[in-house]
Structure 1
Amino acid sequence: MRFKLIIVLLAFVPFTSMAQDRKSKADILFYEYQYEKAIAAYRVEMEKNTLTNHQLLNLADSYFSTGNHKNASKLYLNVNKNDTIMSANRFNKMLQSLSKNSEKDRIKTFLNSKADKLSPELLENAAFNYNLLEITEDTDNSIIRNLAINSAQGDLSPAFYKNGILFSSSRARNNKNIYEPTGESYLDIYFARLGSNNTLIDVEAFKEIPATDYHKSTPYFSEKLATFFYTLSNAEEGELKYDENGKNSLAVGTFSKNNRFRFILKDLSTSFYYPFFDDNTERLYFAASFDDSYGGTDLYYVNTNNGQIMSAPINLGPRINSPGNEIAPYIFNGTLYFSSDIFYGLGGMDIYKSNILPNDSFTIPVNLGEGMNSSLDDFGFIIQNDENSGLSGFFASNRAGGKGRDDLYGFVVKNTPGIKTFSLGGKVVNLSTKVGLKGAQVRLLNQKGAILREVIAGNDGSFRIEIPWKSQVTIQAMSDGYSIFSTTYSEEGMEEIQNTSYNMGLVKMEDLMVQLEDKTVLKLSKFYFDKGTSVLNAQVENELKKVVDAVLRFPQMKLRIQSHTDTRGSSSSNKRLSQERADVIKNYLLKNGLNSNNIIEAIGYGEENIVNNCVNGAYCLDFLHKQNERTLFVVE
Structure 2
Amino acid sequence: MRLKNHMISSIVLVMGMASFSQTGLQKKADNLFNKFSFVAATNAYKELISKNDNADYATRQLANCYAYLRNPDSAVVYYKKVIKQPNVPNQYYYNYAQALRGVQDYKESRIWLKRFKDEGGDLKESDIVNDNDFINKIYNVKPHYFLKDVNFNSKFSDFGAYEKNGNTYFISSRDEGVILKHIDGWNEEPFLDIYVKATSSSDSIVNNKFKLQGSVNTVYHEGSLAISKDGKTLYFSRSDFNEQILGKTDENVTNLKIYKANLVDGKWTNIEELPFNSSTYSIAHPALNNDETKLYFTSNMPGGMGGTDIYYVDINSNGYGTPQNLGAPVNTNKNESFPFINNDGKLFLASDGHPGLGLLDIFETVSDENDKIINVINLGIPVNSSKDDFSFFMNEDGLSGYFASNRNGGMGSDDIYAFYRVPQLKIEDTVTDAETNKPIANATVTLLDSRSSSLDTVKTGENGHFNINIDRDTDYYIQVKKDDYLDYTKAVSSKGIDKNTTSINTSIVLSPDKIKSKPITELQSIYFDYNNYDIRKESTVELDRIVTLMTTTYPDMVIKIESYSDSRGSSKYNNKLSQKRAKTTYNYLINKGINPERISEYKGYGEQNLTNQCNDAAPCTEEQHQLNRRTQFIVVRMY
Q: After superposition, what is the alpha-carbon deviation per residue over 1:352-408, rounded to whole angstroms, capped at 9, x for unaligned?
A: 3333445532423223302x344543322212145xxx7222233334444433333
**Partner residue in 2 for 1:391:** 399
Residue 349, structure 1, aligned to residue 347, structure 2: no
1:28 maps to which of 10, 28, 31: 31
**Partner residue in 2 for 1:269:** 280
Residue 191, structure 1, aligned to residue 191, structure 2: no
Residue 206, structure 1, aligned to residue 212, structure 2: yes
Q: Give the SS at the match of 1:381.
A: strand
Alpha carbons 1:230, 1:252 under 8 Å: kept? yes
Amino acid at match of 1:245: E
Amino acid at match of 1:378: D
**Partner residue in 1 for 2:390:** 379
CA 1:119–1:199: 2 relative to 1, 3 Å:
farther
Alignment of 1:499-518 (within 5 A): none
Amino acid at match of 1:29: L
Q: Give the C-alpha shift of residue 160 in structure 1.
A: 2.0
Greater C-alpha radius of gyration: 1
Alignment of 1:151-162 (within 5 A): 151-162=154-165
CA 1:218–1:287: 2 relative to 1, 3 Å:
same
Distance (Å, rounded) in 2 between the aligned partners of 1:472 and 1:326:
38
Distance (Å, rounded) in 2 between the aligned partners of 1:382 and 1:128:
29
1:309 maps to which of 320, 323, 327: 320
**Partner residue in 2 for 1:97:** 99
Residue 218, structure 1, aligned to residue 224, structure 2: yes
CA 1:93–1:304: 2 relative to 1, 3 Å:
farther
Amino acid at match of 2:378: V
Alpha carbons 2:104, 2:357 under 8 Å: kept? no
**Partner residue in 1 for 2:541:** none
**Partner residue in 2 for 1:233:** 239
**Partner residue in 1 for 2:342:** 331
Amino acid at match of 2:5: I
2:170 maps to which of 167, 170, 179: 167
Alpha carbons 1:158, 1:395 under 8 Å: kept? yes
Distance (Å, rounded) in 1 between the aligned partners of 2:59 and 2:320:
42
Q: Give the C-alpha shift of residue 20 in structure 1.
A: 14
Q: After superposition, what is the alpha-carbon deviation per residue over 1:56-85, rounded to whole angstroms, capped at 9, x for unaligned?
A: 75343135445324434436756998645x
Alpha carbons 2:390, 2:404 under 8 Å: kept? yes
Alpha carbons 2:2, 2:184 under 8 Å: kept? no
Distance (Å, rounded) in 2 between the aligned partners of 1:6 and 1:489:
51
Distance (Å, rounded) in 1 between the aligned partners of 2:114 and 2:477:
28
Residue 300, structure 1, aligned to residue 311, structure 2: yes
Alpha carbons 1:329, 1:339 under 8 Å: kept? no
**Partner residue in 2 for 1:505:** none
Point out the more displaced range, 157-166 or 280-289: 280-289
Q: Give the SS at the match of 2:373.
A: coil
Q: Once superposed, what is the RMSD of the aligned Cα atoms?
A: 5.4
TM-score, scaled relative to structure 2: 0.55
Distance (Å, rounded) in 2 between the aligned partners of 1:288 and 1:72:
30
**Partner residue in 2 for 1:594:** none
Residue 142, structure 1, aligned to residue 150, structure 2: no
**Partner residue in 2 for 1:570:** none
Q: After superposition, what is the alpha-carbon deviation per residue over 1:281-324, rounded to whole angstroms, capped at 9, x for unaligned?
A: 62211222234555533322223325932123314434454635
Distance (Å, rounded) in 1 between the aligned partners of 2:492 and 2:378:
20
Q: After superposition, what is the alpha-carbon deviation per residue over 1:451-490, rounded to whole angstroms, capped at 9, x for unaligned?
A: 989xxxxxxxxxxxx9999977999xxxxxxxxxxx9999
Alpha carbons 2:299, 2:311 under 8 Å: kept? yes
Alpha carbons 1:176, 1:214 under 8 Å: kept? no
Amino acid at match of 1:152: K
Amino acid at match of 1:331: N
Q: After superposition, what is the alpha-carbon deviation per residue over 1:582-626, rounded to whole angstroms, capped at 9, x for unaligned?
A: xxxxx9xxx9xxxxxxxxxxxxxxxxxxxxxxxxxxxxxxxxxxx
Amino acid at match of 1:146: V
Q: Give the C-alpha shift of residue 144 in structure 1.
A: 0.9
Alpha carbons 2:76, 2:100 under 8 Å: kept? yes
Residue 251, structure 1, aligned to residue 241, structure 2: no
Q: Give the SS at the match of 2:322.
A: coil
Amino acid at match of 1:238: Q
Q: Give the C-alpha shift of residue 195 in structure 1.
A: 1.0
CA 1:4–1:228: 2 relative to 1, 3 Å:
closer
**Partner residue in 2 for 1:514:** none
Distance (Å, rounded) in 1 between the aligned partners of 2:240 and 2:451:
61
Q: Give the C-alpha shift of residue 257 in structure 1.
A: 4.3
Q: After superposition, what is the alpha-carbon deviation per residue over 1:207-256, rounded to whole angstroms, capped at 9, x for unaligned?
A: 24444332222121111683211011212320212122222111111123
CA 1:169–1:83: 2 relative to 1, 3 Å:
closer
Alignment of 1:334-483 (within 5 A): 334-341=345-352, 345-358=356-369, 359-370=371-382, 372-385=383-396, 391-415=399-423
**Partner residue in 2 for 1:517:** none
Distance (Å, rounded) in 2 between the aligned partners of 1:421 and 1:295:
39
Distance (Å, rounded) in 1 between the aligned partners of 2:357 and 2:215:
36
CA 1:155–1:398: 2 relative to 1, 3 Å:
same
Alpha carbons 1:121, 1:319 under 8 Å: kept? no
Alignment of 1:503-582 (within 5 A): none
CA 1:308–1:101: 2 relative to 1, 3 Å:
same
Amino acid at match of 1:6: K
Amino acid at match of 1:186: F
Distance (Å, rounded) in 1 between the aligned partners of 2:453 and 2:7:
48
CA 1:490–1:196: 2 relative to 1, 3 Å:
farther
CA 1:261–1:319: 2 relative to 1, 3 Å:
closer
Q: After superposition, what is the alpha-carbon deviation per residue over 1:32-79, rounded to whole angstroms, capped at 9, x for unaligned?
A: 31342243255368655874xxx7753431354453244344367569
Amino acid at match of 1:68: S
Q: Give the C-alpha shift of residue 141 in structure 1.
A: 5.7
Distance (Å, rounded) in 1 between the aligned partners of 2:333 and 2:471:
22
Q: Give the SS at the match of 2:149.
A: strand
Q: Give the C-alpha shift of residue 266 in structure 1.
A: 1.9
TM-score, scaled relative to structure 1: 0.55
**Partner residue in 2 for 1:285:** 296
CA 1:252–1:44: 2 relative to 1, 3 Å:
same
CA 1:331–1:200: 2 relative to 1, 3 Å:
farther
Q: Give the SS at the match of 1:134.
A: helix
Distance (Å, rounded) in 2 between the aligned partners of 1:298 and 1:353:
15
Amino acid at match of 1:159: Y
Amino acid at match of 1:185: P
Q: Give the C-alpha shift of residue 135 in structure 1.
A: 0.5
Amino acid at match of 2:421: V
Distance (Å, rounded) in 1 between the aligned partners of 2:188 and 2:132:
41
Q: Give the C-alpha shift of residue 194 in structure 1.
A: 1.1
Q: Give the SS at the match of 2:404.
A: strand
Alpha carbons 2:248, 2:255 under 8 Å: kept? yes
Q: Give the SS at the match of 1:98.
A: helix
Distance (Å, rounded) in 1 between the aligned partners of 2:471 and 2:85:
37
Alignment of 1:72-83 (within 5 A): 72-74=78-80, 83=89
**Count of matched residue pairs:** 446
Alpha carbons 1:39, 1:62 under 8 Å: kept? no
Amino acid at match of 1:369: I
Alpha carbons 2:298, 2:337 under 8 Å: kept? yes
CA 1:270–1:303: 2 relative to 1, 3 Å:
same
Distance (Å, rounded) in 2 between the aligned partners of 1:100 and 1:94:
10
Point out the more displaced range, 298-307 or 220-229: 298-307
Alignment of 1:47-126 (within 5 A): 48=54, 51=57, 57-64=60-67, 65=69, 66=71, 67-74=73-80, 83=89, 86=91, 93-100=95-102, 102-108=104-110, 114=117, 117-118=122-123, 126=131
